[in-house]
Chains A and B, each alone.
Chain A
Amino acid sequence: MESTLDIFVKAIFSENMIFAYFLGMCSYLAVSKTVKTAVGLGAAVIFVLTVTVPVNYLLENYVLKEGALAWISDEYATLDLSFLSFIMFIAVVASMVQLVEMLVEKFAPALYGALGIFLPLIAVNCSILGGALFMQERQYSTILDATAFSLGSGIGWFIAIVAIAAIREKLRYSNVPGPLRGLGITFIVTGLMGIAFMSFMGIKYGEEVAEDDTKTEVTTAKTDQELENR
Chain B
Amino acid sequence: MSTEKGSEPLFSKKNKKLITDPLTDNNPVTIQVLGICSALAITVQVSQAVVMSLSVLFVIIMGNLIVSLLRDMIPSRIRIIVQLLVVASLVIIVDQVLAAFLPDLSAKLSVFVGLIITNCIIMGRLEAFAMGNKPWPSILDGLGNGLGYGAILIIVAVFRELFGSGTLMGYSIFGNSLPGEESGLYTLGYQNNNLMILPPMALIITGIIIWVQRTRNKALIEEH
Chain A residues close to B by CB (< 8 Å): 19-26, 29-30, 83-87, 89-91, 94, 123-126, 128-130, 133-134, 137, 172, 177-188, 190-195, 198
Contact = CB atoms under 8 A, between A and B. Distances in A.
Contacts of A194: 198-200, 203
Nearest to B87: A90
Given A25-B36, A86-B92, A90-B117, A179 B221 contact: yes
Interface in B64-88: 80-81, 84-85, 88
Contacts of B35: 26
Nearest to A172: B224
A20 B199 contact: yes
Nearest to A89: B114
B41 A21 contact: yes
Given A90-B88, A179-B221, 10 more contacts: A20-B199, A22-B203, A25-B36, A86-B114, A126-B115, A179-B215, A180-B211, A183-B30, A186-B207, A193-B200
B185 interface: no
B203 A187 contact: yes
B46 interface: no
A221 to B, nearest CB: 30
B95 A187 contact: no
Given A126-B118, A183-B33, A194-B199, A25 B85 contact: no
A81 B104 CA distance: 22
Contacts of B210: 179-180, 183-184, 187
B97 to A, nearest CB: 12
5 contacts: A83-B96, A94-B81, A94-B84, A185-B207, A188-B204
B193 to A, nearest CB: 13
Contact of B38 (A126, A128, A188, A195): A126
A198 B198 CA distance: 9
B85 A91 contact: yes
B214 A133 contact: no
A29 B35 CA distance: 11
A124 B91 CA distance: 15
A85 B38 CA distance: 19
A134 B199 contact: no
A190 B204 CA distance: 8
Contacts of B85: 87, 90-91
Contacts of B221: 178-179, 181
B176 to A, nearest CB: 29
B223 interface: yes
Contacts of A192: 200, 204
A120 to B, nearest CB: 8
Contact of A22 (B199, B214, B224): B199
Interface in B27-81: 30, 33-41, 80-81
A41 to B, nearest CB: 15
Contact of A29 (B33, B215, B222): B33
